[in-house]
Amino acid sequence: MTLQLHNTLTKRTELFTPQQEGKVLLYTCGPTVYNYLHVGNWAAYIYWDTLVRTLQANHYNVERVMNITDVGHLTSDADDGEDKLEKGARREGKTAWEVAEMYAEDFMNGMEKLGLLLPHHITKATDFIPQQLDLVRILKEKGYTYQISDGIYFDTAKFATYADFAGLDLEAQKAGARVEFNPEKRNASDFALWKFTAPDEKRDMQWETPTDLLDVASIVMGFPGWHLECSAMAMSILGPTLDIHTGGIDHIPVHHTNEIAQSESASGQIFSNYWLHNNHLKVNGTKISKSLGNGYTLQDLAEHGFSALDYRMFVLQSHYRSEGNFSFENLAAAKNRLDHWRAIAALRHQTHDTLQHDDDKSSDDNSISLQAASQAIVEALSNDLNTSEALHIVDTAFAQLDTASLTRVHQHGLKEVLDTIDEVLGLQLQSTTPDIDDDGKQLIVQRQRARDEKNWAESDRLRDELLSDGIVVRDTPHGSVWEYASTTPTL
């Protein structure tokens, strides 16, 4: 099986080939932990979780680093404005350290709810200050830095291919330099590696700047630039060259462009061979913004009656490079789709004695084989993470089971396709559909007996009793089947 990915670096979809056979070095841009993540943020982590699962399905061992940005991310995403953590501290009436810990914990809880695989390394920027200062030191020794009143900057004019990754128009940036926030910068595109704490500024998070990094030896407090953090954490753990680096398309023109410039200037090697970027998620056709109040969190979805896995299904319905549109109506449709899949998953408990086994399958009967679907799902994901096609394959396979007799279902194929869905799509179909207890099974037997005797009143009573326990019994031309009741969300 071949794996193809769309590489932002080359602007085309190409065959994936790692540096080391069988192993992938992956870096994922993680969250800035100054507030709760909204649905747009979470979409990215669902897509990159799917990437990891697809790599594993293609028999790669994935070593993954994901950062926690807990300092240095300014409100402009560049070099001006207030540190988001310091701003969050003022909003919450806490220290920046307390805010970072609180929202980092919420992020980890959200990952668990969504069924996201944990990276091998989850790194906090504040734990890698020495490595970041070492990177600044290397860049200074190589002549890429200069110092101005508010910090140490990277001179982008000295990195010849700076504009290539994002296709930047540096002349247009230069023309706009008249209104540049910081007129001391040599070039409008130059960025801060290390920011100095202003004399009148009170910060919770700051470190003494090593004197060998300063033009004049003195005590200057400072903090790292956002871009510096990712390069230092990625290279100190994974080495100078990554196989894959992921992030959002908004990272391309500034954050990832700056990561490439500083990393490759320091190491003399390509920073990452493949770059993957997910598109934006809109809400009701508009950009997510605080002023519109549409930055829905997982907590908001739960209050409307939706689970994190309902949202995971919603995200997987769109390709990672297409612009998504969230609405509660769209989320409800995704929930219905997931409920249907769970109903199919529950069939495995009801067909233990009747499902056809491999060695029972004759060549000319009408038994339904699901085995081909498993391979097709992985193949779809191996085609640049085509999640929408993978879901369509599952829908097509499961549609065959809606009206089929359980005796015609291929037992091994059903189990295999459920395993594949859980492994590569992470929807937890089997763990969320355990077998019902013996009391429930006895009630179903009693209800069937009442139906055989045409005792409709008793049959209805038993059906209602099962429903009170969260079990729905559905009568088909081939007999009764049960599934778990689904709650109706609030729209």
Instruction: Provide the 3-class DSSP secondary structure of residue 490.
Output: coil
Residue 409 and residue 459 in one domain: no
Per-residue CA distances from 118 to 48, 125, 278 (Å): 11, 18, 19
Looking at the structure of the chain, the number of domains it has is: 3
Nearest Cα to Cα of residue 27 among 224, 167, 236? 236
d(CA 112, CA 64): 17
Residue 137 and residue 274 in one domain: yes
Pull the structure tokens for residue 310: 């309902």
Pull the structure tokens for residue 451: 């139906």
In terms of C-beta density within 10 A (0-12 exposed, 13-18 middle, 19 or more buried), how is residue 200 classed? exposed
User: Residue 135 is part of a domain; what is its CATH number?
Assistant: 3.40.50.620
Q: How many CB atoms lie within 10 A of CB 14?
A: 14
In terms of C-beta density within 10 A (0-12 exposed, 13-18 middle, 19 or more buried), how is residue 140 classed? middle
Residue 38 and residue 152 in one domain: yes
| Residue 285, domain member (yes or no) | no
Residue 253 and residue 330 in one domain: no
| Residue 479, domain member (yes or no) | yes
**Are 91 and 36 spatial neighbours (Cβ–Cβ below 8 Å)?**
no
* Sign of the CA dihedral running 210, 211, 215, 216: positive
DSSP 357-411: PGGG--TTS-PBP-HHHHHHHHHHHHBT--HHHHHHHHHHHHHTTSSS-GGGBBH
d(CA 369, CA 353): 17
Residue 332 and residue 220 in one domain: no
DSSP 85-114: HHHHHHHHTS-HHHHHHHHHHHHHHHHHHH
> Exposure pattern of 82-102 as b/e (b: 16+ CB <10 Å)?
ebbbbbbbeeeeeebeebbeb
Instruction: Provide the 3-class DSSP secondary structure of residue 263.
Output: helix
Residue 161 and residue 218 in one domain: yes
User: What is the domain extent for residue 467?
Assistant: 438-484
d(CA 34, CA 79): 18
d(CA 450, CA 221): 80
State residue 172's pLDDT score. 78
d(CA 462, CA 80): 67
Residue 244 and residue 346 in one domain: no
* pLDDT tens per residue across all 491 residues of the chain: 799 999 999 999 999 999 999 999 999 999 999 999 999 999 999 999 999 999 999 999 999 999 999 999 998 878 888 899 999 999 999 999 999 999 999 999 999 999 999 999 999 999 999 999 999 999 999 999 999 999 999 999 999 999 999 999 888 777 665 445 689 999 999 999 999 999 988 899 999 999 999 998 889 999 999 999 999 999 999 999 999 999 999 999 999 999 999 999 999 999 999 999 999 999 999 999 988 999 999 999 999 999 999 999 999 999 999 999 999 999 999 999 999 999 999 999 986 544 444 444 443 333 466 878 999 999 999 999 999 999 999 999 999 888 788 777 777 888 899 999 999 999 999 999 999 999 999 999 999 999 999 999 999 999 999 999 999 998 888 788 999 998 878 77
State residue 114's pLDDT score. 98
State residue 176's pLDDT score. 60
| Residue 489, domain member (yes or no) | no
| Residue 362, domain member (yes or no) | yes
d(CA 325, CA 317): 11
DSSP 47-74: HHHHHHHHHHHTT-EEEEEEEEB-S--B
d(CA 74, CA 72): 6
Residue 314 and residue 227 in one domain: no
d(CA 76, CA 34): 14
**Chain centroid offset of residue 2 CA:** 23
Residue 313 and residue 339 in one domain: yes
Compute and round to an integer the Cα radius of gyration of the chain. Answer: 27
Query: Which residue is listed with tokens 């990159």?
Result: 48
d(CA 273, CA 7): 8
- What are the beta bridge partners of residue 282? 325
**Residue 323 carries which DSSP code?**
P
| Residue 173, domain member (yes or no) | yes
Residue 273 and residue 317 in one domain: no
Query: Rounded to 5 degrees, what angle do the CA atoms 429, 109, 488 make?
Result: 50
| Residue 88, domain member (yes or no) | yes
Domain boundary among 395, 425, 455: 425
Residue 274 and residue 198 in one domain: yes
> Exposure pattern of 19-47 as b/e (b: 16+ CB <10 Å)?
eeeeebbbbbbbbbbbbbbbbbbbbbbbb
**Are 130 and 123 spatial neighbours (Cβ–Cβ below 8 Å)?**
no
State residue 352's pLDDT score. 54
State residue 424's pLDDT score. 98
Residue 53 and residue 173 in one domain: yes
| Residue 286, domain member (yes or no) | no
| Residue 291, domain member (yes or no) | no
